[in-house]
């Protein structure tokens, strides 16, 4: 959670706490390296969901709902017509069978969508529980009054004390409190919310556990974060994304082509003396139009959003999820994303005339009271590398601890007539010289060398009977998270450039960038620099994704194509981004990109599959229709289907069943691995293109075999 406006002060010993426990980048991915499991997998598909969603699926048969999916609407119209024709000749089992299977095709499509939506509904119900009606204590000119939470307006000030439910979204303007946000994040550990800074945002529906805060309301009731979240996971706010619209257009035009092919077929057939029953033509039409993808398209979209929700990421629009797939530049904050949240002591370097042990001893002494991660790491290093037993503060009677301040930029201890100090180079040198001590001439060289290597030098000085002097240098190093280099290599193979953003100086930044394997870095970054970088990348036609939490990140978050705000961040940041990560884990940006890609791949794969399927259906139906008029056409019946009726019925049944068979794939998403576009295309073309050509030949033949076993159908 660095605020890039504040370059990290060497030796300051202050670090903003990292919101997340660091974890190896892969371990939180379900199905990580299991064979057959997608790297980005959704939850498991439970067949019971199909049964549970059936009422919803039937409700969706309403033509006003169906018309939104042009392909399935055509199937529904076909089902109605087929049913009518079947009614006209009630004794014809074939007509009824076709009618039943056409209806099943529509219902299966609705079922897919209903199942996808059903998963969101469960989450929405949990959220609703958190959104109880609250009573707000509004401050009106300093006087507290009780109003309903729904009456709050933007700008109102409300007071919350321990045990209160926060009545609406806002920023803390006074006080500090611990807040239970488990209603939203599912994380039971309380978080600190305080006025000012980047941890001021509070969310309506969360509970204050301690202390008293004054909150300035920033959203209208009904539009709060929790309201939006409910809408999002329920799919109520779902709008078709640009790419989904484009695909729908392609599917609609294919539907028109096939409608044309089937409508004009009747005159051709009449001329050939083989006029076709309407039911057969309707069956042919439904087989040809891309029902597989048409049926699953919206389920794929909903499931994509759902996969994000399962990872505790809320996308404010489907458009953002799609954009994530297109991202070609990732801006990653160094701290917390690439490196562990803090620097760690790597070595003690003595100046000429002293020993490492002396430096280690003094460094340890000066850090005993230092509870920052850097301070702890110095103690740990002294113990592990130099065997220095950790002394407890209590052992040192009369010790006078000198805490770090922004002015002195040093900390240390005065004990037993010894004064030990450690801190920023300049400050420590000044301290030594002030006291008339000498500064070893190689101290500056050593610190420069460490800086150039990307580390942060802390000088350690001691004043004892020999007078004040510099002992040596502590080398603090940023520790790059495990597995990041591999992750960045993967991203590079996917064609994504990573840029590390840091407040460090260019030297430090470069060293870490090299170690982590990012493609580029932005050192001494200010919010303006970040903004300029985003605009520059975008001007080159690239889509940029970034994470941010501070108010000063807000403009960049808004400018980025994918702006992921941390839930711990300010409400301005959350407002500006188009996604919110409830776990506040910046590394998740990479997963978000993968989910976006997976969403598009799933659409493309099923479209290819759907179109490729048609070839086999022609070979089943055309001979069935015309082998009587032109016996030669029976040669095209390469599947050797048992009878014309059985051939047509088998094609229709296959067409319906394949939808149900592919629901799990639509919900889970096509397997995605970070490889180059070429390899991915080759693989998906083989599986879904060739597979789509071959599968229906086998499927239709199999169904035909089963049908031919039913007596009395020929």
The residues annotated as belonging to the active site are 333
Cβ within 8 Å of residue 245, ≥6 positions away: none
Closest approach of another protein to the CB of residue 266, in Å = 8
- Please, which residue, 173 or 256, has the CB nearer to another protein? 256
Residues 500-539 contacting another protein, CB under 8 A: 539
Rounded least distance, CB 499 to another protein, Å: 14
User: Using CB under 8 A, which residues numbered 424 to 483 contact another protein?
Assistant: none
How far apart, in whole angstroms, are the C-alpha atoms of residue 501 and residue 547?
Answer: 10
Question: Shortest gap between Cβ of 492 and another protein (angstroms)?
Answer: 7
Rg of the chain on CA atoms, in Å: 33
340-379: contacts with another protein (CB under 8 A)? none
C-beta of residue 562 within 8 angstroms of C-beta of residue 324 = yes
Residues 237-296 that bind another protein (CB under 8 A): 242-243, 245-247, 249-250, 252-253, 256-258, 260-273, 288
Centre a 10 Å sphere on the Cβ of residue 89 and count the other Cβ atoms it contains. Answer: 12
What's the closest the beta carbon of residue 675 comes to another protein, in angstroms? Answer: 9
Name which of 255 and 584 has its Cβ closer to another protein: 255
Q: Is 408 part of any known ligand binding site? A: yes
**Of the candidates 123, 297, 285, 307, the residue with the CA atom closest to the CA atom of residue 617:** 285
What whole-number distance in Å separates Cα of residue 63 and Cα of residue 58? 11
Torsion angle defined by CA atoms of residues 484, 490, 495 and 499, in that order, rounded to the nearest 10 degrees: 0
**Is 240 exposed, middle or buried, given 0-12, 13-18 or 19+ CB atoms closer than 10 A?**
middle
Could you tell me the smallest distance in angstroms from the CB atom of residue 246 to another protein? 4
Please report how close the Cβ of residue 289 comes to another protein at its closest, in angstroms: 10
Nearest Cα neighbor of 574 from 301, 223, 182 is 223
Looking at the chain, how many residues does it have?
714
3 state DSSP class of 202: strand
Q: Helices marked H in 91-181 — which ranges?
A: 93-130
Q: Give the neighbor-by-neighbor strand order of the sheet with 497-501.
A: 313-315, 579-581, 562-566, 544-548, 329-333, 497-501, 520-522
Give 196 or 495: the residue with its C-beta nearer to another protein: 495
Q: Are 19 and 584 in contact (CB under 8 A)?
A: yes
- Name which of residues 609 to 668 contact another protein (CB under 8 A): 611-612, 614-615, 618, 622, 626, 629-633, 635-636
- Residue listed under structure tokens 């991202």: 327
Question: Is residue 216 annotated as involved in ligand binding?
Answer: no
The only residue of 206, 607, 650, 655 in contact with another protein, by rule CB under 8 A = 607
Q: Which of 3, 680, 695, 707 binds another protein (CB under 8 A)?
A: 680
Q: What are phi and psi of 703, to 5 degrees?
A: -65, -40
CA distance 25 to 337: 10
The least distance separating another protein from the CB of residue 543, rounded to whole angstroms, comes to: 8
CA–CA distance, 587 with 483 (Å, rounded to integer):
12
Alpha-carbon span 615 to 288, nearest angstrom: 9
Tokens found for residue 330 = 């990732």
614 is in an annotated binding site: no
Output the CA–CA distances (angstroms, integers) from residue 228 to 136, 393, 441, 575, in the order listed. 20, 50, 62, 12
Name which position in 496, 511, 576, 665 contacts another protein (CB under 8 A): 496
Q: Least distance to another protein from the beta carbon of 258, Å?
A: 7
Select 393 or 635, whichever has its Cβ closest to another protein: 635
Q: How far is the CB of 221 from another protein (least distance, A)?
A: 36
Does position 598 interact with another protein (CB under 8 A)? The reply is yes
Beta carbon nearer to another protein, 26 or 682:
682
* Annotated binding residue 464: no
| Strands 497-501 and 467-480, sheet pairing | unpaired
Q: Does 493 bind another protein (CB under 8 A)?
A: yes
- Closest CB to another protein among 566 and 605? 605
Tell me the window of 89-97, 358-366, 400-408, 488-496 that interacts with another protein (CB under 8 A): 488-496
Name which of residues 681 to 710 contact another protein (CB under 8 A). Answer: 681-682, 684-685, 688-689
Closer residue to another protein in complex, CB, 297/473: 297
Is 553 labelled as part of a ligand binding site? yes
Q: Is 623 helix (H, G, I), strand (E, B) or coil?
A: helix
- The size of the interface with another protein (CB under 8 A), counted in residues, is 76
Which residues from 16-45 bind another protein, rule CB under 8 A? none
Q: Is 347 annotated as a binding residue?
A: no
Question: 171 among the known binding-site residues?
Answer: no
Of 84 and 263, the one with the shorter C-beta distance to another protein is 263
Judged by CB under 8 A, the stretch of 98-106, 302-310, 392-400, 677-685 that binds another protein is 677-685
Q: H or E segment at 431?
A: helix 425-434
701 has binding-site annotation: no
Q: Return the number of the residue (51 or 690) whose C-beta is nearest another protein.
A: 690
> Is there binding between residue 337 and another protein (CB under 8 A)?
no
Is 62 known to sit in a ligand binding site?
Answer: no
Q: What is the residue whose two structure tokens read 């791949």?
A: 601
Structure tokens at 529: 């620099």
Contacts to another protein from residues 294-323, by CB under 8 A = 322
Region 132-171 residues binding another protein, contact defined as CB under 8 A: none
DSSP codes of every residue in 42-75: -PPP-THHHHHHHHHHHHTTSHHHHTTSHHHHHH
Closest distance between another protein and the C-beta of residue 614, in Å? Answer: 5
Phi and psi at 435, nearest 5°, equal -90, 15
Check if the beta carbon of residue 610 is closer than 8 Å to that of residue 291: yes
- Which of the stretches 52-60, 142-150, 556-564, 675-683 binds another protein when contact is defined by CB under 8 A? 675-683
Instruction: Return the number of the residue (69 or 366) whose C-beta is nearest another protein.
Output: 69
Question: What is the spatial distance between Cα 601 and Cα 684, in angstroms, rounded to a whole number?
Answer: 9
Binding residue per annotation — 409?
Answer: yes
Task: Say whether 374 counts as a known binding-site residue.
Answer: yes
Contacting residue, 7, 388, 542, 708, with another protein by CB under 8 A? 542
Annotation: binding site for Mg(2+) = 549, 553
Annotation: binding site = 370, 374, 404-411, 422, 549, 553
Annotation: binding site for ATP = 370, 374, 404-411, 422
């Amino acid at each position: 959670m660095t605020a890039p406006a504040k370059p990290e002060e060497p030796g300051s010993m202050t670090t903003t706490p990292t919101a997340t426990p660091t974890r190896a980048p892969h371990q939180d991915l379900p199905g990580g390296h299991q064979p057959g499991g997608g790297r980005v997998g959704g939850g498991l598909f439970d067949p019971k969901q199909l049964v549970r969603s059936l009422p919803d699926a039937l409700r969706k048969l309403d033509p006003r709902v169906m018309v939104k999916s042009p392909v399935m609407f055509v199937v529904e119209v076909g089902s109605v017509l087929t049913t009518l024709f079947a009614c006209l000749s009630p004794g014809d089992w074939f007509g009824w069978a076709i009618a039943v299977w056409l209806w099943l095709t529509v219902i299966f499509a609705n079922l897919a969508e209903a199942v996808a939506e059903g998963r969101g509904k469960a989450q929405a119900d949990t959220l609703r529980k958190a959104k109880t009606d609250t009573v707000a204590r509004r401050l009106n000119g300093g006087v507290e009054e009780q109003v309903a939470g729904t009456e709050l307006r933007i700008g109102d000030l409300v007071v919350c004390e321990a045990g209160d439910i926060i009545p609406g979204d806002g920023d803390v303007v006074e006080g500090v409190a611990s807040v239970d946000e488990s209603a939203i994040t599912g994380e039971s550990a309380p978080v600190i919310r305080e006025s000012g800074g980047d941890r001021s945002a509070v969310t309506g529906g969360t509970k204050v556990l301690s202390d008293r805060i004054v909150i300035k309301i920033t959203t209208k009731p009904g539009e709060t974060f929790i309201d939006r979240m409910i809408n999002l996971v329920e799919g109520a706010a779902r709008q078709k994304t640009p790419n989904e619209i484009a695909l729908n257009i392609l599917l609609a035009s294919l539907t028109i082509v096939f409608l044309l092919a089937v409508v004009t077929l009747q005159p051709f057939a009449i001329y050939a003396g083989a006029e076709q029953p309407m039911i057969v033509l309707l069956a042919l039409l439904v087989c040809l139009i891309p029902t597989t993808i048409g049926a699953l398209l919206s389920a794929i979209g909903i499931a994509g959003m759902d996969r994000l929700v399962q990872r505790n990421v809320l996308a404010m629009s489907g458009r953002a999820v799609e954009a994530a797939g297109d991202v070609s530049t990732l801006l990653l904050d160094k701290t917390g994303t690439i490196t562990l949240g803090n620097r760690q002591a790597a070595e003690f370097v003595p100046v000429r005339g002293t020993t490492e042990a002396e430096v280690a001893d003094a460094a340890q002494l000066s850090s005993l009271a230092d509870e920052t991660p850097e301070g702890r790491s110095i103690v740990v290093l002294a113990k592990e590398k130099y065997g220095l037993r950790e002394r407890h503060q209590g052992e040192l009677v009369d010790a006078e601890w000198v805490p770090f301040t922004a002015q002195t930029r040093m900390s240390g201890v005065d004990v037993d007539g010894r004064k030990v100090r450690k801190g920023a180079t300049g400050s420590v040198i000044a301290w030594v010289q002030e006291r008339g001590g000498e500064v070893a001439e190689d101290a500056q060289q050593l610190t420069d060398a460490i800086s150039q290597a990307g580390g942060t030098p802390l000088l350690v000085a001691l004043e004892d009977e020999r007078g004040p002097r510099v002992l040596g240098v502590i080398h603090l190093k940023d520790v790059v998270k495990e597995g990041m280099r591999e992750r960045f290599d993967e991203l590079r193979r996917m064609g994504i450039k990573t840029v590390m953003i840091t407040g460090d100086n260019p030297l430090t930044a470069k060293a870490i960038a090299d170690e982590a394997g990012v493609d580029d870095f932005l050192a001494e970054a200010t919010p303006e620099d970040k903004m300029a970088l985003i605009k520059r990348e975008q001007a080159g036609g690239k889509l940029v994704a970034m994470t941010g939490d501070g108010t000063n990140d807000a403009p960049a978050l808004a400018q980025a194509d994918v702006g992921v705000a941390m839930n711990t961040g300010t409400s301005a940041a959350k407002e500006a981004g188009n996604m919110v990560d409830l776990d506040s884990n910046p590394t998740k940006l990479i997963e978000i990109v993968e989910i976006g890609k997976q969403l598009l791949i799933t659409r493309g794969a099923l479209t290819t599959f759907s179109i490729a399927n048609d070839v086999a259906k022609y070979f089943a139906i055309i001979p069935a229709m015309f082998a009587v008029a032109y016996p030669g056409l029976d040669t095209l019946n390469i599947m050797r289907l048992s009878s014309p009726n059985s051939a047509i019925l088998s094609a229709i049944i296959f067409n319906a069943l394949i939808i149900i068979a592919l629901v799990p794939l639509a919900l889970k998403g096509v397997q995605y691995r970070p490889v180059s576009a070429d390899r991915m295309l080759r693989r998906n073309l083989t599986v879904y293109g060739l597979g789509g050509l071959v599968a229906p030949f086998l499927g239709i033949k199999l169904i035909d075999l089963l049908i031919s076993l039913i007596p009395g159908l020929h």
